[in-house]
Each structure stands twice: as structure tokens, then as C-alpha cells.
Structure 1
Amino acid sequence: MMRKLLLIFALSLSATLNTYAENSLSEESEISLITVAPGDELYSGFGHSALWVEDEAKGISVVFNYGTFDFDTPGFYMKFVRGKLNYMLSAGRISYLIRSAKAENRSVIQQKLDLSLSQKNQIYDYLLNNIRPENKFYQYDFFFDNCSTRFRDLLEEVLGSGLSWNKQAEGYTFREFLDIYLEDKPWQDFGIDLVLGQPTDQIADKRNEMFLPDMLMYHYDKATYEGKPIVKDKLAIYEAPEKQESSSFQILPQHLTWLLCLIGIILSVRHHKSKTSDIWYNKLLFIITGLIGCLIFFLWFLSDHVATVDNWNMIWAFPLNIVFAFLLFKKPAKKWHTIYYAVFGIAQFLVLGFFYTLPQALHAAVLPIVLYFAFKSFNLLYRTKKMNV
């Protein structure tokens, strides 16, 4: 989640870790959950989690981080899109983490854990074993297996049934959580909404909402082991200055899509009155939505991403729109052309009628697109039939 930080963490401590592995932690050792606040960039917009093991008596101070990946992986971008990119556990110095956070104006919170020496050593041994070359890679999943959930799972494995997560779940869906973090990034929010399917609209229970570093931190705050709080101290290692809120007007995705809808309707009315062709405008819309549909199809059927299946956006962003972009008003129109317009139009009307009650929450910017396609499909149906007379 923290791209620049991940690159820094990739700097080696492996040789030092081999030395550490020979020694157990002392009574003075501390294990802390480190939470880095969300940043301004999309890659850092959800925050970051790491685990800091420090033991002055043994000369140990190392931050473990499950959010790193290798940019030199063959086929990096295709593996990333298909959900097949392996992330890995790496180790770095706390000074690197703080320096990177300061550069990005992101606060860093430390939660010191109240654990027995045996539990500290179990956690440390677990991480040392996990960072071995044969164990350090795992298949990343943004919601269910990431740099944050790994430290939830680690604590559950070490503390067992004595651990209680006492904080109540917020009751938000995964998509609603993303909307909160992307509130000041409307275009990124729109893009992410387009590619995430129905699974994203499931309500996240208390365990699953810990996919967000902030939520993991809040759950650690309330967690107990055999009735005793596991966090004994919480402090800000670095507190970023408050950001100035911008009051400037921002063009939102729904502004653009309503404008496109209006222009399309105006062009259609002009065509009806003056025979001015709107064919290129509609070709462009059909091509764009068809390309979006191809991306949705790819992520749904050809990737391992859990959250991109069952995507209702394909009703309007249908891959065949690309084909029909080149068949608009082509003489003579085949019967199956008119069938496509009719079926496509009916589907748009159904989406309009149930827009706010669908199993998947569609972005507000989608509404004018669906409205225009509902209108345009039957307009095309009428004009195609008239053209064949």
C-alpha cells in the first residue's frame, strides 16, 4: 500500500536477520504494531501496517512488512492485473519507514503490545521463518490477504483462543469503506467502482474490516488476551501537520457523464429535426463503453481477483458495444442488429428502475450513462427500422 516505502523496505536486512535468528529476545524486548496514515497518492491512500521488533539488549531493531513486491518480476503488470502477482515479507529499519512517512506527510502511530516473553519469541520466530526465501512470498489479495490482515492472522495464531477482538464492526460494506478513503479522489473512486463487482458490497465483519490498517489499529486498541488489553502504550512516532482543505471547485465524474448524456440527447433531437448525423458521437460512446466492458470481462473471468466477479456494470458497459459501434446505421441493418438494440435498451430500463436496489451499488456517474443508453437504444431501433424501409 505504500509504494515508495515498499521499495525502501526491499533494501536488505537479510544478513542481519540471519544473526538475529540465532538469539531469542530478552525480557526488555518490545513488539509494536506500526500504522502509517493514508497518503495523498492512490497507492498510499489506504495506509500501511508493519510490525516492529526491538531489543536493545540484543541489538535488534527490525520492522517487518508484508507489503513489498519485486518490480523486476517477469510479466509484472499482467500478473498484477490478473491477481497473480506475489507479494513478500521483507524487513527494514524504522528510520527508513519514518523518513518515508515524513516525506509524504503521513503520521506514524506505534502500539506497544503487552505480551509475555514466550509470546514475543513466538511472533519473532514466526516472522523469521516467514522471511526465509522459500516462505516469504504469498498471493496478495487487497481485501482478504494483505499487509494488514497478515498481522491480524499472526496475532490470532500466536495467542489462540485467549485473544478477543472486542471492538464492534462498523457495519460498512467493503465498497463503503473504499468510498470513505477515496472521498477526495473522486475519479479514482469512479474507476475502482467500475471494476469491482458484487462481492465488494458485502458487509465486512470485524475480522474482514481489518483489511484496512486504520481498522486493524482500532481493533488492536480494544483487543484483549485472557481479559487483559494487548496494547499497553500508544504513541505518535511522527504526527503530520494537518492538511489544508481545498475549497476550489472540482469536476466530478457525474458532472461529465450528465454532460455527455445531455449532449447525446441534443444531438439526437437535432438529427430528428435537421438530419444532422450524430453517428460519430454514438460510435465513440459505444467504443468507450465496450472497452470498459472488455476490462470488466477480463477481470471477471480471466483473473484471480475475488472482488471483480459478478460485476453488474457489464449491463451497460457490454463488450459487444465495440462491434456495434461499427454497425450503427450500416445499410442494410440485419434483424439481429435490431434485436440487440431492443434487448440492450430493455436492460438499461430495468437498471434505471432498480438502480438503488440492485445487489451491487453502482456509482452515481453511471446513472446518466444508463439513462442515455436506454433512450438511445430505442432511438437506434426506430431509426434502423426506418432506414430499412
Structure 2
Amino acid sequence: MIKKLLLGLLLFVFFEASAQKSLSEKAEMSLITVAPGDELYSGFGHSALWVEDQSKGLSVVFNYGTFDFETPGFYMKFVRGKLDYMLSAGRLSYLVNSAKAEKRTVIQQKLQLTLEQKNQIYDFLINNIKPENRFYQYDFFFDNCSTRFRDLLEDVLGEGLVWEKKAEGYTFREFLDIYLEDKPWQDFGIDLALGQPTDDLADKRNEMFLPDLLMMHFDKATYNGKPIVEDKIILYEAEENEETAGFQILPEYITWFLCLFGIFLSVRHHKSKLSDVWFNRLLFLITGLVGCLIFFLWFLSDHVVTVNNWNIIWAFPLNLILAFLLFKKPAKKWHTVFYAVFGIIQFMLLGFFYTLPQAMHAAVLPIVLYFAFKSFNLLYRTKKMNV
């Protein structure tokens, strides 16, 4: 579970003893799935692997979703995609109690494996949790707390493992939209940051980056024709929240207001000479800052899904500088050229908004609409009135 703190989950003395012995015939291995939580960091759920061998007093949960907040340069490493996550281990009671506190359902799937396969998995995890092996470079889509257990099972079981469940047929972005349905502003921010690769269709393996989907695929998976899951148990079932969500101010409400307000100011400027310069400069500053973030994630980070981000067409990084160079009297020739080129680009983006290779958030449409309108409006002013 991606937590804010690593709370001493690793018990070195315990593993020094347990690593010396193999699992017995009574050993059980289970995939543990924790339902999504209310916070953004927990909003996609969590996967862990529980190994229990009562005859040897062994009960430990392995968890690939932990990180250390004390890591030097934590936030910069997170943004650049260079933050190391780690394999940790702890008690099942801690995981369940944490889930209870956050009102998240916990489901256990007992795996039907041979003793040899259980020992292979256990030995791998014991070796992987050593200080020199436990860290890995996290990737939300392709290398996380769920995909690690998918890969481990595939390595141990080989070609005999068959994922029988068909893919849901969604793109990565569509999956995110489903999970962020009740978090509209987070969804907006993530949509702005993620580029065209996020709109690739997730096949059955790739959609297992989500713990819920990993659990569903385990339900249907077979090994040599026999089901992998022999039993499914609800360890804790959270009560459904019956509270209805109140009125929310959605991002598109704000951007449509800004669009209409900007058009109103333009009309007033024409009729009463009310200046709209401050509004245009503020909008250019904001979109320029967004563009700088997009540029950083695209060219200066290791994230593979923040490249080829079409939002840079309207959130242009140079808007940050142009905010102070444009909207001046008298207008210069290059102002006229910029308004023409920028307006044409925004108009084309508007026309192809719903057919682009990258799905753009609904809140972006009013911004593009205003930029298209304003560019031609300013072009008219500079050409006819030089205002």
C-alpha cells in the first residue's frame, strides 16, 4: 500500500531465521487485494502477497508499494520518475487494520500451487527483500505493486499459466477516468500531465497494473488447465458509503466561465474601451506555467507516458514570456504574425478536438475556444485599429 511513511515493516531478525528454512506442505500463499481508498495515493487499490506456514510459525505479507519520504530530493525524484520504491514485509493484521481505518475492503485469494512453486516464490521474495535488491524504479502503469506479482507468477509457472479473462477494452486513460470519477480536479491534473501513450489500449497483461483487475484475472487464470485460485475470502468488508455527493465545482465549469468572461471583456473593450489586457496576460501566464510542466515531464523526466503530450499546443511554455510581450500598444508586426499563427493552430485544434490521437479533458475545450476567438479578435484590432 502506497503510504506516506514506511512504518518499520521489515523485521530483519525474523527473516534471518525464516530465510534458512523452506516452506512445509501446510504452507499457503494468497494474493491480497485492498480496495481503492478516498485519498489519491490509495485511489487505485493495492496488491500484496501473504505467505503463511503455521507449522513453522511463519506469517508475512510482502508488499512492493512502499517508499521512504525521507529520501533526499523526494519530490523532485517523484516528478522526474526517478523515485525508488521498495519491497517491504509485515504482518497481515497491520494491513487489514490500516484498511479498516480507511474503510477499504480486503480480499484474499488462496493460490493453488505446488510446494515447489511456493518455495520458488518465497525464495525469490526473501532474496528480493535484501537491502541490495529491495529497491526498484516504480512506474505506475508498467512496474508497480500489482505488476510485480503478475510477473513473478509468470516467471515461476511459465507457459502453463494462462490468463483466461478477456481484456476490458479500455485505454490507460479511460481506466484512470473510471477510478477518478469522484476526484474531478485530480483527474484534470493527471489528464494534463499524461501524454499520448496513455491513450494506448491496455491489453489483458497491461490492465493488471490495477489491483482490482489483477484480482479479476487471477480469478479466471489457470495452470495446466486447473484454476490458480482455490478459494476467495473477504477478510474485511467495508460498509458502502451511502452519502450522496453534493454539488461540485468541476474544472470545466471554471474554464467555461473564464471563456465566457473573456469574450465579455472583449466585447466591452470594443464598446467602452474597457481593457482586457490583464485578463489575457493572466491566462497566458497560467497556461505558460502548465506548458512548462508538460515540457519538463516530456523532455526532462523518465516517465514513459508523459511524452507526446498534445496539450502543449495550447499550454505553450513560451506563453509565460509572451504574456509580457504581447497585448501592447502600438502593436508590432510580429504581434500580428503571432496572433494569426496562434489563432489558426487553436482553430485547427478546436476542429479536431475529439479526433486527436490523445483524448483531452473536457475542461480544455473552452480554453482552446477562447484562444481561437481572442487570437482573431486581436488580429482584427491590430490590423484595423492598432489598439
TM-score range, shorter chain: over 0.9
Unaligned runs of at least 5 residues, structure 2: none
Secondary structure (helix, strand or coil) at the match of 1:90 reads strand
Which amino acid counterpart does residue 376 of structure 2 have in structure 1? F
Q: Distance in 2 between matches of 1:24 and 1:42?
A: 39
Counterpart of 1:227 (choices 215, 225, 228) is: 225
Structure 2 counterpart of 1:189: 187
1:315-354 equivalences in 2 (<5 Å): 315-354=313-352
Shift, 1:247, TM fit: 4.3
Listed as ranges, the matches of 1:131-142 within 5 Å are 131-142=129-140
Structure 2 Cα separation of the partners of residues 250 and 80 of structure 1: 29
Counterpart CA distance in 2 for 1:77 and 1:21 is 35
Determine the C-alpha separation between the residues in 2 that align with 1:364 and 1:102. Answer: 35
**Secondary structure at the counterpart of residue 350 of structure 2:** helix
Partner of 2:3: 3
Distance 1:79 1:194, change over 3 A: same
Report the Cα distance in structure 2 between the residues aligned to 1:380 and 1:99, rounded to whole angstroms: 60
Q: TM-score, normalised by structure 1?
A: 0.97
Contact preservation (8 Å) 2:32, 2:48 = yes
Q: Which amino acid aligns with 1:22?
A: Q
CA distance, structure 2, for counterparts of residue 324 and residue 381 of structure 1: 15
1:74 Cα offset (Å): 1.0
Contact 1:289 1:318 in 2 (8 A): yes
The equivalences for 1:99-114 within 5 A come to 99-114=97-112
Cα RMSD of the aligned pairs, angstroms, is 1.2
1:45 aligns with one of 27, 39, 43: 43
Could you tell me how far 1:383 is from its partner in structure 2? Answer: 2.2
1:109 alignment partner AA: I
* Deviating more after overlay: 240-249 vs 218-227: 240-249
Aligned to 2:94: 96
Which residue among 121, 124, 135 is the counterpart of 1:123?
Answer: 121
Shift of 1:205: 0.1
- Where does 1:1-389 land on structure 2 (aligned, <5 Å)? 2-4=2-4, 7-8=6-7, 10-386=8-384, 388=386
Counterpart-to-counterpart distance in 1, 2:338 and 2:221: 56
CA distance in 1, matches of 2:330, 2:235: 71
Question: Residues 279 and 328 of structure 1 are in contact (CA less than 8 Å); yes or no, is this contact kept in structure 2?
Answer: no
Question: Distance between the aligned counterparts of 2:160 and 2:48, measured in 1?
Answer: 23
Over the matched positions of the two proteins, sequence identity in percent amounts to: 79
- For the 8 Å contact 2:24–2:53, the answer to whether it is kept is yes
**Which stretch of the first structure deviates more once superposed, 251-260 or 239-248?**
239-248
Cα distance in 1 between the residues matched to 2:94 and 2:341: 57
How far off its partner does 1:381 sit?
Answer: 1.9
Distance 2:337 2:356 in 1: 25
How far apart in 2 are the matches of 1:92 and 1:220?
23
Aligned equivalents of 1:2 and 1:24: distance in 2? 29
* Structure 2 Cα separation of the partners of residues 212 and 245 of structure 1: 26
Mapped to 1, the partners of 2:308 and 2:107 lie a distance apart of: 38
| 3-state SS of 1:2 partner | coil
Q: Deviations over 1:340-366 (max 9, x none)?
A: 221111111111111111000000111
- Residues 266 and 276 in structure 2, CA contact (< 8 A), matched pair in contact too: yes
Amino acid at match of 1:155: L
Equivalent-residue separation in structure 1 for 2:18 and 2:335 (angstroms) = 70
Aligned AA (1:360): Q
Partner SS, residue 325 of structure 2: coil
- Displacement of 1:295 in angstroms is 0.3
Q: Count residues in correspondence.
A: 387
1:223–1:386 CA distance, 2 compared to 1 (3 A): same
Query: Do the aligned partners of 2:3 and 2:67 also contact (CA within 8 Å) in 1?
Result: no
- Residue 204 of structure 1 aligns to a residue whose secondary structure is coil
Mapped to 1, the partners of 2:342 and 2:282 lie a distance apart of: 17
Distance 2:12 2:231 in 1: 29
Quick check: 320-329 or 190-199, which moved more?
320-329
SS in 2 for 1:232: strand
* 8 Å CA contact 1:169, 1:205 repeated in 2: yes
- The secondary structure found in structure 2 opposite 1:129 is helix
- C-alpha distance in structure 2 between counterparts of 1:214 and 1:247, whole Å: 24
Secondary structure class of the residue paired with 1:377? helix
Indicate the larger mover: 374-383 or 273-282. 374-383
Aligned-partner Cα distance in 1 for 2:386–2:370: 24
Deviates more, 1:268-277 or 1:336-345: 336-345
Residues 327 and 230 of structure 1, relative CA distance in 2, 3 Å threshold? same
Give the whole-Å Cα distance in 1 for the aligned partners of 2:260 and 2:62. Answer: 53
**CA distance, structure 1, for counterparts of residue 333 and residue 296 of structure 2:** 29
Tell me, in whole angstroms, the C-alpha distance in 1 between the residues paired with 2:55 and 2:264: 76
Aligned-pair CA distance for 1:18: 1.5
- Indicate if the aligned counterparts of 1:34 and 1:110 stay in contact, CA closer than 8 A: yes
Is the CA contact (8 Å cut-off) linking 2:2 and 2:67 kept in structure 1? no
CA distance in 2, matches of 1:19, 1:152: 27
Contact 1:329-1:384 within 8 A present in 2 as well: no
